[in-house]
């Protein structure tokens, strides 16, 4: 296996591991408002998230940015809660700020926080040879996120179908119920993490 | 719903469980030197106690293996341990008269502790670098 493929595999496996529930839930929260036909929008958001964490990761592992681990571990679940709150608060995205097209921006900003979470590990382990591991790890993370996104789309479509059957509310009604249910569950989990990891 | 929250909430934020082993060929004495980088807290937990040379050697004997191309085990000797920050660097040397090509390697550190553990091996020889990746259950793999 080439070195690059090794680090791509490392990033991919890290993000798709079932124990990586913080990343997976964040992606679910981001994807919760989209339907399968909105795949371009969700792809933009996830790619912006990857771009964000790539920037922080690069800055942090090269030592240009030093961030306290405890603060980052607290902020990661806070970003998940914030995403869920945004999902719950914004009902009509066409009337929201920039016609609702601000989501890639905040996904990118939250990506900055998540990237810092990986940085300490990578900086320690690959202290003398960071460029290739960093690049490969990020490519693997992006590929893994696309897989998680595809699974999230299928799960969310199944939730829609269940709500449609259970409530006879199709279309927008089922979508809204889904957004509320998924966001509420994810927010509760992330809130618990945030409280447990509060540095204050 | 409560059960789902309990299950999800019980999961922790996800660290990266990885070690990095570098293999280099020492032409001067015809040996392969393995430097294993492992996070100190993980290694301490794996040893179930204080990190000493003897405890590290005993642990590595069961989790780190080298063999020649015909499968004959190479017995490594211990060449020390050092610490930088939160990382430990463990050093082993073994005879490798024919170089690194064809050498069979297995790095199974921490598989008994973390289901998501990944161990990376980098080998530098003959003017090139190659890498192997080990996850739980992997058999020894040959260097090309």
User: Mapping DSSP to helix (H, G, I), strand (E, B) and coil, where does residue B3 land?
Assistant: helix
Q: Alpha helix (H) ranges present in A65-199? A: 69-89, 103-125, 131-167, 171-196
Give yes or no for a contact between B7 and B21, defined as CB atoms under 8 angstroms apart. Answer: no
**How far, in Å, are A46, A62, A114 from residue A53 at the CA level?**
11, 14, 6
Greatest distance between any 2 Cα atoms in chain A:
60
**Could A185 and B8 be called an inter-chain contact, meaning their C-beta atoms sit closer than 8 Å?**
yes
CB-CB neighbors (< 8 A) of A6 in chain B: 120, 131-133
| pTM (global) more than 0.90 | no
Determine the Cα–Cα distance for residues A12 and A20; give it in Å rounded to an integer: 11
Can you tell me the mean pLDDT for A166-179? 76
Percent of chain A with pLDDT over 70: 96
User: Quick check: is B117 in a domain?
Assistant: yes
User: Quick check: is B136 in a domain?
Assistant: yes
Question: How far away is chain A from the Cα of B97, in angstroms, using its nearest Cα?
Answer: 24
**Could B14 and A118 be called an inter-chain contact, meaning their C-beta atoms sit closer than 8 Å?**
no
Question: How far away is chain B from the Cα of A165, in angstroms, using its nearest Cα?
Answer: 19
Can you tell me the mean pLDDT for B64-93? 93
Determine the Cα–Cα distance for residues A127 and A29; give it in Å rounded to an integer: 34
CB-CB neighbors (< 8 A) of B85 in chain A: 124
Give yes or no for a contact between A7 and B20, defined as CB atoms under 8 angstroms apart. Answer: no
CB-CB neighbors (< 8 A) of A193 in chain B: 9, 12-13
- Considering its fold, how many domains does chain B have in total? 1
User: Quick check: is B9 in a domain?
Assistant: no
Is A63's Cβ below 8 Å from some Cβ in B? no
Between residues B71 and A67, which one has the greater pLDDT? B71
Between residues A65 and A76, which one has the greater pLDDT? A76
User: Mapping DSSP to helix (H, G, I), strand (E, B) and coil, where does residue A43 land?
Assistant: helix
What is the domain extent for residue B103?
16-142
Option in B14, B86, B133 nearest A6 (CB): B133
Q: What are phi and psi of A58, to 5 degrees?
A: -65, -45
Q: How much is the ipTM here?
A: 0.80
Option in B115, B118, B132 nearest A10 (CB): B118
pLDDT for B67 equals 95
Long-range contacts, stretch A151-159, CB < 8 angstroms, 24+ apart: A152/A27, A152/A28, A152/A31, A153/A31, A153/A34, A153/A36, A153/A39, A153/A42, A155/A28, A156/A28, A156/A31, A156/A32, A156/A34, A156/A35, A156/A182, A157/A35, A157/A36
User: Quick check: is B91 in a domain?
Assistant: yes
User: Quick check: is B11 in a domain?
Assistant: no
Question: How far away is chain A from the Cα of B119, in angstroms, using its nearest Cα?
Answer: 9
User: Mapping DSSP to helix (H, G, I), strand (E, B) and coil, where does residue A72 land?
Assistant: helix
Q: Give the closest residue to B81 by CA, choosing from B55, B105, B110, B46.
A: B55
CB-CB neighbors (< 8 A) of B16 in chain A: 14, 118, 121-122
User: Quick check: is B59 in a domain?
Assistant: yes
Give yes or no for a contact between A183 and A88, defined as CB atoms under 8 angstroms apart. Answer: yes
User: Quick check: is B7 in a domain?
Assistant: no
Which residue in chain A is spatially nearest to B37 when comparing CA positions? A125
Question: How far away is chain B from the Cα of A109, in angstroms, using its nearest Cα?
Answer: 19
Between residues B73 and A102, which one has the greater pLDDT? B73
- Tell me the pLDDT tens digit for each residue of A128-146: 777 888 889 889 988 998 9
Is A2's Cβ below 8 Å from some Cβ in B? yes
User: Quick check: is B124 in a domain?
Assistant: yes
């Amino acid at each position: 296996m080439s070195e690059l493929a090794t680090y791509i595999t490392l990033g991919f496996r890290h993000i798709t591991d079932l124990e990586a529930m913080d990343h997976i839930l964040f992606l679910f929260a981001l994807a919760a408002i989209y339907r399968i036909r909105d795949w371009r929008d969700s792809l933009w958001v996830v790619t912006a998230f990857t771009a964000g964490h790539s920037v922080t990761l690069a800055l942090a592992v090269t030592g240009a940015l030093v961030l306290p681990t405890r603060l980052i571990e607290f902020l990661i679940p806070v970003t998940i809660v914030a995403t869920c709150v945004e999902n719950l608060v914004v009902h009509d995205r066409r009337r929201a700020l920039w016609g609702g097209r601000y989501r890639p921006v905040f996904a990118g900003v939250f990506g900055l926080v998540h990237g810092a979470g990986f940085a300490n590990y990578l900086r320690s382990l690959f202290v003398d040879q960071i460029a290739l591991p960093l690049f490969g790890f990020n490519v693997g993370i992006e590929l893994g996120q696309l897989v998680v996104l595809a699974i999230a789309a299928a799960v969310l479509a199944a939730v829609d179908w269940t709500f449609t059957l259970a409530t006879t509310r199709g279309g927008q009604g089922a979508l809204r119920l889904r957004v509320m249910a998924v966001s509420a569950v994810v927010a509760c989990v992330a809130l618990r993490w945030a409280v447990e990891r509060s540095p204050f | 719903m409560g059960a789902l929250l309990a299950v999800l909430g019980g999961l922790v934020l996800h660290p990266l469980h990885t070690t990095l082993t570098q293999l280099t060929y020492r032409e001067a004495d015809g040996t392969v030197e393995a430097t294993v980088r492992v996070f100190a807290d993980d290694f301490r937990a794996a040893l179930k106690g204080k990190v000493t040379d003897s405890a590290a050697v005993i642990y590595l004997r069961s989790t780190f293996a080298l063999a020649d191309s015909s499968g004959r085990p190479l017995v490594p000797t211990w060449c020390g341990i050092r610490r930088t920050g939160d990382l430990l660097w463990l050093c082993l040397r073994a005879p490798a008269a024919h170089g690194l090509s064809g050498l069979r390697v297995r790095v199974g550190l921490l598989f008994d502790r973390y289901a998501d553990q990944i161990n990376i091996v980098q080998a530098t020889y003959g003017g090139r670098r190659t890498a192997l990746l080990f996850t739980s259950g992997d058999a020894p793999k040959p260097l090309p």
